[in-house]
Chains A and B, each alone.
Chain A
Amino acid sequence: MADPAAPPRPAPDPVDARFGSPLTEGLRTYRLVVAMWVRSTLTYRASFAMALCVAVVANGLDFVAILLMFSHVDRLGGFTLGEVAFLYGTSATAFGLAHLTVGSMDRLGRRIRDGSLDTLLVRPVPVLAQLAADRFALRRLGRITQGALVLAYALTVLEIDWTATRLLMVPMMLVSGAALFGALFVAGAVFQFYAQDAAEVQNAFTYGGTTLLQYPPTVFTRELVASVTFVLPLAFVNWVPASYVLDRPLPLGLPVQAAFAPPLVAAVCCVAAGLLWRVGLRAYRSTGS
């Protein structure tokens, strides 16, 4: 290897031959790093179980607030308890899934400040995958569990005329919703490339977004509903498709076809977030901070 008489290496390098495309390497790295954190978390089973219970209870209190509200009124913005529980359950579960998979992105600002982002940039795998998998917190399953319980409650009390389309709509909402929130986490992280203490702003949109969606669109002003439909399309997480499932008119008088748009909207948002991420990372690499 160190023989000075050896000719320069031929073109197709054996080192590069070991690696796949950036997407393959990114997904693989994500899996590897997540698996490592999960193993490390499960080393302390008791402490993990406790953290998970705390997460379920703490998030559960959130829904208790809604229950308390319904002890005084029968309807909220024209929605029954079951219907609000449906909105709550879909929003919380979709957000929980995104929070679990890419919620660590909000540490980007701190990593830029302390310079540790550079250590990710010298590894042969996409930074986004490394950052998303970093400190993967299994206790975030607590939020998903709580959201799923509320959703299950909603599905038992609601008297819905279950057609195949309505039935398929529920998992579709959760997957698209998780992708939408995931895109929001990534886009929010990009913001931290430019303003390094912007984690709070990001939280306002992500955590704030999920809280907003837990209430019926009818309690908010038309302008607010329009902005979360057309500007930051969070309404596609549940408000728009849920209206179809609950057999209600769509918000803003949208045509019924809009209820089937979430997968498309989510895909567009993910691509946009990915492009934004590239722009942000490029900006970081040309300025250093």
Chain B
Amino acid sequence: MDATERPVADLPAQRDGQEVIHLDRVEKVFEVRRRAGLLRREKREVRAVDGLSFSVGRGEVVGFVGPNGAGKSTTIKMLTGILTPSAGTLRVAGVEPARDRARLARRIGVVFGQRTTLWWDLPLLDSYQLIHRMYRVPDARYRENLDRCVELLGLGDLLDVPVRQLSLGQRMRGDIAAALLHDPEVLYLDEPTIGLDVVSKANVRHFLADLNAERGTTVLLTTHDLTDIEQLCRRVMVIDHGRLMYDGEVAGLHRIAEVERTLVVDLATEMAPIALESARTVKVEGPRQWLAFPAGQPAAPIVAEIAAGWPLVDLSLREPDIEDVISLMYAGRSAG
């Protein structure tokens, strides 16, 4: 069963029976102190998360997006039990994260895109063996999970390599495997494709889609890369200034703000704007032309069409950024 083919209608039904993540009016207020004189100190309150409520059903893959400083990381930190909320209630996999951090940790997997949870100086396999023992994963289960991850994430040649010698893409795959060895119910991914090349990104996305389809693992994904969202999630939550701005289907986000990818093509000579059904030419500058098309649509047919009809020299693809979408949302809101 492919997760992306399930009818949208089963979403609410999934939610009321098997709720895995639940937030009710969660707030996080930081008190920032700064020196305002020799001895005087100024106190300032920063409301990083401001009355956030949502729930996620078992087996959902949800994109959690927002600009820098929107409260994404703070929310993830509360959902993993790292931070204690200032107000409101949270439940993840039947556990209250702040109170029962260790019990929660047995049930969740966390991948921080920017830093590794692996032991930096030890070979990858040593890290996995430590996790095996630390999470008390039954031997047979550990073997099975490790073999599966090694195969699907292509880690075979890397197991003896110290983590510090891995490339960013290799390390990310290593981290994802590490987060899954104990069969977590919920997987949090914080920017899992940041800094990865196109092939590594595709591998990671493919693996996550399979994981969700086969194991029913609930995935909460924060990302700047809208293509991650397009290809993995049916539901997306947009957060800004600590509040939920949008919670619904990815398709619905397009209705609010038309998200587009941009194909930049270099032709052999200066030509009239390329006219295609599937993309619109937004800019022409000498032999270079910019074509925009909906982010959910594949690029290959468009490229093929251009290659067939025009003297194509070079091309590049610009992915839409979440900041673009948010600014479009604001623009759409004030206009409508």
Which residues of A are in contact with B by a Cβ distance under 8 Å?
1-4, 8-9, 13, 15-16, 18-19, 22, 25, 28-29, 32-33, 36-37, 39-40, 114-116, 118-119, 121-126, 135, 282, 285-288
Contact = CB atoms under 8 A, between A and B. Distances in A.
13 contacts: A8-B18, A16-B103, A19-B106, A19-B136, A22-B102, A118-B82, A118-B115, A122-B105, A123-B117, A124-B102, A287-B30, A288-B74, A288-B77
B133 to A, nearest CB: 5
B130 interface: yes
Contact of A121 (B80, B116, B135, B215): B80
A270 B86 CA distance: 31
Nearest to B98: A285
A287 B112 CA distance: 19
B302 interface: no
B58 interface: yes
Given A2-B214, A287-B31, 17 more contacts: A2-B59, A2-B215, A4-B58, A9-B94, A19-B102, A19-B136, A29-B134, A32-B134, A33-B130, A36-B129, A115-B115, A122-B82, A123-B117, A126-B102, A285-B82, A287-B30, A288-B83
B305 interface: no
Interface string B119-135: 10110001001100111
A230 B40 CA distance: 33
Nearest to B80: A122
Interface in B86-122: 86, 94, 98, 101-103, 105-108, 110, 112, 114-117, 119, 121-122
A32 to B, nearest CB: 5
Nearest to A33: B130
B216 interface: yes
Contacts of B278: none
A24 to B, nearest CB: 11
Nearest to B116: A119
Nearest to A22: B102
Given A19-B136, A36-B130, A119 B106 contact: no
The 8 A-B residue pairs with the shortest CB-CB distance in the complex, in nearest-first order:
A2-B216, A124-B105, A119-B117, A18-B136, A122-B110, A124-B106, A121-B82, A124-B102
A119 B30 contact: no
A37 B121 CA distance: 9
Nearest to B59: A2
Contacts of A9: 94
Contacts, number: 96
Contacts of B135: 124
Interface in B29-66: 30-31, 58-59
Contacts of A8: 17-18
Nearest to B13: A4
A121 B101 CA distance: 8
B14 A4 contact: yes
A262 B34 CA distance: 43
Contacts of B81: 121-122
B208 to A, nearest CB: 15
B97 to A, nearest CB: 10
A32 B122 contact: no
B243 to A, nearest CB: 19
A32 B108 contact: no
Nearest to A127: B101
A2 B102 CA distance: 24
A126 B117 CA distance: 15
A116 B86 CA distance: 23
B116 A1 contact: no
B94 to A, nearest CB: 8
A144 B59 CA distance: 54
B112 A119 contact: yes
Contacts of B134: 29, 32, 123-125
Contacts of B108: 122
Nearest to A125: B134
**Which of B102, B107, B108, B135 has the most C-beta atoms of chain A within 10 angstroms of its own C-beta?**
B102
B84 interface: yes
Contacts of A29: 134
Nearest to A19: B136
A4 B130 contact: no
Nearest to A122: B110
Contacts of A4: 13-14, 17-18, 58-59
A8 B91 CA distance: 15
Given A4-B17, A36-B122, A118-B112, A286 B84 contact: yes
A177 to B, nearest CB: 31
B161 to A, nearest CB: 13
A1 B17 CA distance: 15
Nearest to B131: A123
A135 B215 contact: no
A125 B102 contact: yes
B31 A118 contact: no
Interface string B206-237: 00000000111000000000000000000000
A15 B58 CA distance: 17
B219 to A, nearest CB: 13
A29 B103 CA distance: 16
Contact of B215 (A1, A22, A25, A36): A1
A285 B83 contact: yes
B158 to A, nearest CB: 17
Contacts of B105: 122-124
Interface in B287-330: none
Contacts of A3: 216
Nearest to A15: B106
